[in-house]
Every structure is written in structure tokens, then in C-alpha cells.
Amino acid sequence: MLFEAYQLGGINLSKRIVMGPMTRCRAAQPGNVPTALMAEHYAQRASAGLIVSEGAPVSPQGHGYLWTPGIYTPQQVQGWKLVTEAVHGKGGHIFAQIWHVGRVSHISLQENGQAPVSAGGAAAQANCFAYDENGNPGNVPCSPPQPLTADGIRAVVEDFRRATANALAAGFDGVEIHGANGYLFDQFLNSQLNTRSDAYGGSLANRARLLLDAVDAAIAEAGAQRVGVRLSPHGGFNDMPEDPDTEAMVCYLAEELERRGVVYIHFMDQVSFGFKPIGEGLLREVKKRYRGTVIVCGGMSKEQGERYLAEGLADLIGFGQLFISNPDLPERLRRNAELAQPDQATFYGGGAAGYTDYPFLAD
């Protein structure tokens, strides 16, 4: 089934294989602008049914890593046009992942050296990629955050609206709102981190409100059939505490996203990062509540992907790291060809090495 066509909202995917979003920190400086090299990288991988771009910060405040390509300036929109045109030129499809890191940031990345923002005041015991005290780029501990104010919340929602408009102007087929991996929305969803007493903290509905406000803002720009959401239930990445409410929250979100008619929910199973798996039971609960497309990504093999499709646990299967080192991953899977393993040393930053120089299969 992986090689069957699939109708995703208004677009016809050639196969049920998704390239998961992957931050590679290669945007041009100054200004964090997408480049021709990035366009080449994505175009090489256009045989995926759908590509989800690396996370694109929606504002200067949304950055947590150096050299990540933003989606809030005219120059960035022009840069992303190179990417979308190159992917479409090869017959592919691409959504923009739009991103705010929340507390997973450092004062050296924030305007005027301000504290990053979050749901509450707890710092992430995690690293971001920023300037150290000597001004050198490297892994540095995340800075303690400040809780978002009411005005700050309105600004974030507006940033997601503008990012969606910019994504469409840049030629993307849709947007994926990054609600996963311990970043801003995940910080609000988590009952252990969200200590607020306003309308954005407390009950499930209140903790989900910021994410759903951003979803509504994106839908107002693009229509629900061009908006997806990424979630990572049970994920511990970026110092996320286990939340006893996780499954109830995912079921609540599935119902709310169904009501809004968003085109997909993309689950990041952090099992390949060493955390607890999402579990097939939770995916079945989602399927009872949400009739849109479900993507599952994380630790997938061809065999597991085929089983998830056959058992109706997912509609599309995402692959991350294998797409880094195998630009023609779908063809390799189809032929059961050998898979190249990625070099972690070139994941973040640098140029063509470990980015556009992984070979294709010889015919």
C-alpha cells in the first residue's frame, strides 16, 4: 500500500510515503533566508508523496536554533519560493512546517536579549543551538523563560496567521502547525508545565486553546484542507515531563481537529529517540474520533509502515532520518535495495556535505 496514490485534501499524492520535517540549519545569513542549496536538497527528495519542510520559525521569538529558515520576512518568502518551485518542478508536493520553539531557546537568539517565552516559568533542561558566552555557535543550555502575557498570546496567534499567508505566497501546498517535540504548543498542552490560571491553563480545553487558536488562524488563511497539525504524545524530547493527561488530551484534540476539518494529524513517535512509543491503542482512539488523514512517523521500516496502513492505524507513513541519506528512499524501499545510513555530524549546519551529496541508486 505504501506505493498507492492517495488523495490528501485537494492534492493527489503519488504514494503514501511522507518525508518528515527535518531542521538542517543551513539558511543564509543574515536574515535566515532559504537558499538554492536547500531547494536542491528538497527537489532531490521530491519522489516522496509529500514533503514536510523543516520547521520554519514564525517570528524572531520563535527561533531556538541558529540558521533555521524563517517565514516572516519578504526575503524568506522569496527564498522558500525557490524550494517550492524546485519540488513542484519534480512533480512533488510540500507543506511548510510552521514553528515556535517557546522555551527551547536562548537569550542570544531573542530580540534585545530577552528571555524566551513559554506557558510558565520552568526552564527546559535541554540544549538549543545558539551562541555561547564567547560568541561561538554551539549547544548551549536553554535560557529560563518568561510566561507569555495576554498580548504575547495574541501576537503568537497573529504570527501563525501571517506565517500561513506567507507559506501560501511562497507556493507551499499547505502548512503543518508544529505542536510536537516539546516546543511552544506542547508546553501549553502539558499539565506539568502549564501552570497558568487564565483561559490558556487548567482544563484540557484551556491548555489546548493556544494551539487551536493558531489552527483557526491558519484555517482562516488557507482553509482547513491545507492545514495539518503535528503532535508527539508521550514524547520526552526537550525535557518534556510525562503527562498523565496525554491520552485524554490527544482524544480531545482529535475531536476538535475533526470539528474543524483539518486535513491531517501527523504523529511523531519518539520511540526512535528513545522515548515511550505512542502505542497502537491511542492511534485507534484517534481513528474513532478523527476522519481526516493520519500520518505516523518515527522508527518506521517498510514492513511496519505496510502493517500500519493495512491495519488502518495510519493513512500515510513518514520517514525522517532515512530521507536524509537516501534521496530516492521510495524507490529503494520499493526495490528492497540497501539503505544508506545518515552521518549525524552533518545534520545541523554546514553546506552540501551530508546534505545534497548522498548518492541515488545506480539504474
Residue 21 C-beta: closest distance to ligand FMN, Å: 4
Build a one-symbol-per-residue string for 254-293: x at contacts with ligand FMN by CB under 6 A, - elsewhere: --------------x---x---------------------
The answer to whether 181 contacts ligand FMN (rule: CB under 6 A) is yes
Is 321 an interacting residue with respect to ligand FMN (CB under 6 A)? yes
Segment 324 to 363, residues that bind ligand FMN, using CB under 6 A: 347
Q: Which is nearer to ligand FMN, 71 or 180 (CB)?
A: 180
| CA atoms of 94 and 350, how far apart (whole Å) | 23
**Bridge partner residues of 319 (DSSP):** 19
Q: Does 22 bind ligand FMN (CB under 6 A)?
A: yes
- Report how many residues bind ligand FMN under the rule CB under 6 A: 22
Nearest 5°: CA angle at 212, between 207 and 216?
160
Measured from the CB atom, the residue of 60 and 277 that comes closer to ligand FMN is 277
d(CA 186, CA 209): 12
Q: Does 21 bind ligand FMN (CB under 6 A)?
A: yes
Q: Does 305 bind ligand FMN (CB under 6 A)?
A: no
Annotate each residue in 220-249 with x if it binds ligand FMN (CB under 6 A) or - if it does not, as one string: ----------x-------------------
Q: Is the distance from CB of 304 to CB of 17 less than 8 angstroms?
A: no
Q: Which stretch binds ligand FMN (CB under 6 A): 163-171, 254-262, 283-291, 298-306?
A: 298-306
Tell me the residue number closest to ligand FMN, measured at CB.
320
Choose, from 72, 183, 200, 290, the residue flagged as catalytic.
183
Q: Collapsing DSSP states into helix, strand and coil, what is residue 278?
A: coil
Query: Phi, psi at residue 81, to the nearest 5°?
Result: -60, -35
Closest CA to 331 of 299, 361, 294: 361
Distances (CA, A) of 170 to 22, 76, 85: 19, 9, 9
Nearest C-alpha neighbor of 47 from the set 84, 18, 12: 18
Nearer of residues 25 and 28 to ligand FMN, judged by Cβ? 25
Q: What mask of x and - would describe binding to ligand FMN in positions 39 to 68, judged by CB under 6 A? A: ---------------xx-------------
What amino acid is encoded at 149 in this protein? Answer: T
Query: Which phi-psi region, left, alpha or beta, contains residue 354 (left: φ > 0; alpha: ψ -120 to 50)?
Result: left
d(CA 239, CA 354): 28
User: Is 264 a residue of the active site?
Assistant: no
- Note whether 179 and 189 are within 8 A (CB): yes
The reply to whether 309 sits near ligand FMN by the rule CB under 6 A is no
Window 123-142: residues binding ligand FMN (CB under 6 A): none
CB distance 127 to 85 below 8 Å: no
Could you list the residues that contact ligand FMN (CB under 6 A)?
Answer: 20-23, 54-55, 97, 178, 180-181, 230, 268, 272, 297-300, 319-322, 347
Show which residues are catalytic: 183
